[in-house]
Structure formats: structure tokens, C-alpha cells
Amino acid sequence: MTSSHSLPKGIILAATPLGNIGDATDRLKEGLAYADVIAAEDTRRVRSLAQALGIEIRGKVVSNFDHNEQSRAAQLVELAHNQTVLVVTDAGMPIVSDPGFPLIEAAHAAGVQLTCFPGASAVPTALALSGLKVGKFAFDGFAPRKPGARRAWLESLRQEQRAVVFFESPHRLAETLATAVEVLGPQRLVAVCRELTKTYEEVRRGTLDEMAEWAVDHARGEITVVLDGAGELEVDLDSLLDQVEQLQAEGMRLKDACKQAAQGTQYSGRELYQAALDREQA
């Protein structure tokens, strides 16, 4: 363990293990041992983590969770001017669908020094294990809880070319995947990753209809889902131009109609726009 003098003054965001304690980094251990203040999502859990790591917490431990983080931010920023404030959540990286944003926003505004002790995170772990094309991806946090909002969100992914990562409750996973079958079609690929880094870690990959059926009886634990991006559709140019004309008839400007019709196809909006002009002049 390094000395306390190596910790910078200011705010440190530190990733904690998702489940396997072996993923705790040396920098996290140093922060737990020597930070002046530890702002934790759950004070009991951070003390249990430190005990499991064989570390004695010397600093003050305070709560920083969803219901008090807004009011706690100013206090922690004030302390961070001349002390080390370590920010941790129950698992993974703070701020990534976890508490921390109000504090970091306030720290930037106050000019307080910020740094990060990187480590475990469910998002890149699931991406790496998914077996899908994830060179480009979007992270959407938790899927919407209400059926209407969830369907609207899935509708927005119809032509999303990037892989999409999201978290879901095991109690809602089957319903979410069943709705995805209706909205996105049964053959879109998806990977369901549960209990990442833990004893019963499991990654299941298949089509949406296969995984929706599987989820009915097997969705347990912490769930991270990776949805494959939509493939480009090889669409006949004439049918696209017909679609553009229909959109124009409904009152849409030509440029906007071309942009909308081209989404998810092998054509760009500009290419379709030129083809529409050529058709008008023919």
C-alpha cells in the first residue's frame, strides 16, 4: 500500500467490483484506506467491502445516494478544496446509472480537482462478452419501466445502426424482450448478461424471440442487455422515391422526406434527394 501522500486533494471517482472482489484495484484500496472522506451510495456496503479487502477505513464515511446527493454536493465540494473525497457506489463506476452526477457537476463549477480510479463496469464487460458487433455502441441506462414509454423507446431503435446496451430488472426482462420482438422483429440478435463477474455469471446470446422465451423462467440477478444494431436495408431506389412522394403529399418538405426515407438503408439523404430531383426532371 502506498502512503497517504500519494492521494490528490479533490474528488476521486472510484470503481468498485461488480461482484468478484478480485477486481478491486490497488488504487481503490489506497483510496479506501487513506481518503479523508468517503462518499458512498451505501455506507454499510463500503464498510463491508473494506473489511473483505482487509482495509481499515481511517476517514469519515458519509452517504451519497439518489435521495440526498443533490443536497450533499455543496458540502462535499467544500471539503474537497483541501481534503481527499473518494466517491464510490455499490458496484461499478459512479455516475453510470448510479449516483454522482450532481457532485461532479458542482465540482466542475467550483474548479475543484477531479480524477478517476478506473475499474470494473458492467457496460464494457457485457459488450466484450456479447459476441455482437460493438465497435460502435450507445448506452441507454435502464429501460423505461412504463409499457408505453418502453415501446416508444424501442421504436426509436428500429433503425439504430449501433449496438445498444441497457440495464433491466429481472422481473421486467421477459416483458421488455417480448415487446422488442413486436417492435424490432423476432430475428434481431441480443445478448443477455447476468451476474457479471460473479459465481453464477451467464451470457446468453440469440434472437429476440429465443431470448424472450428464455427470460420467462431464467431471468435472475443483475441484468445487462446488449442489443445488436439494425443492419442496413437493401431497398429498391424506386420504392424509396415512392415513399418520398407519399411523405411530400402528407406535407413534408422534400429534403426532410428524403432524410427520413433514407434512414437505415444503403442510401444517404443527399443521394435520395438528388435522385428525387432527377425523377422530377425526367
CATH of the domain at 22: 3.40.1010.10
What local confidence, expressed as pLDDT, does residue 269 receive?
85
Residues 110 and 138 in one domain: no
Report pLDDT for 168. Answer: 98
Q: Verify that 151 and 62 share a domain, yes or no.
A: no
Residue where a domain stops, chosen among 182, 204, 227 = 227
Calculate Rg over the CA atoms of the chain: 24
Q: Is the residue at 14 inside a domain?
A: yes
Phi, psi (5° rounding) for residue 8? -75, 155
Q: Does residue 71 sit in helix, strand or coil? A: helix
Residue with cell 445487462: 224
Q: Are residues 144 and 214 in the same domain?
A: yes
Q: Can you give the pLDDT at residue 57?
A: 97
Count of other CB atoms within 10 angstroms of residue 271: 15
Residues 105, 92, single domain; the answer is: yes
Q: Do 101 and 175 lie in a common domain? A: no
Per-residue pLDDT of the chain (282 residues; tens, 9 = 90+): 444 458 999 999 999 999 999 999 999 999 999 999 999 999 999 999 999 999 999 999 999 999 999 999 999 999 999 999 999 999 999 999 999 999 999 999 999 999 999 999 999 999 999 999 999 999 999 999 999 999 999 999 988 989 999 999 999 999 999 999 998 888 899 999 999 999 999 999 999 999 999 999 999 999 999 999 987 656 788 989 999 999 999 999 999 999 888 876 667 788 899 999 999 887
Give the range of the structural domain holding residue 141, as residue numbers without chain letter.
123-227
State how many domains the chain has.
Answer: 3
